[in-house]
Amino acid sequence: MERPTNFAHHRFVGDKRTLVVYDVDRLVDQSIMNELLEARTFLCFAPDTVVEARNRGYRLYEGPGAG
C-alpha cells in the first residue's frame, strides 16, 4: 500500500484507541488506514521504529491485511 501523504516519512502509525501499531509499508488492506485517518486517532513515533512503538505500549498489528 502507498503511504498516505500525512505519513510520507513515517512507516509505523499507531491507533490510540487500541494501542496497535501498523506497518504502513506492509499493510495490504487500504480500509484499515482509511478508518484510522477518518477517526483521527493516529499517532506517529520518533524514532520511526517498531521498538519505539513497543516502548510506548503498542503492539504490532498481525491480523488480516497485514501483508
Q: CB of 17 within 8 A of CB of 39?
A: yes
The tens place of each residue's pLDDT in the chain, 67 residues long, gives: 677 777 789 999 999 999 999 999 999 998 999 999 999 999 999 999 999 999 999 999 998 888 6
> Looking at residue 2, what is its pLDDT?
73
C-alpha cell at 56: 510506548
Give kind and range of the element (H or E) at residue 59. strand 59-60
25 lies in some domain: yes
Range of the domain at 53: 11-60
Number of domains in the chain: 1
CA distance 24 to 57: 18
> Looking at residue 8, what is its pLDDT?
84
20 lies in some domain: yes
22 lies in some domain: yes
C-alpha cell at 62: 498481525
SS3 at position 61? coil
> Looking at residue 48, what is its pLDDT?
95
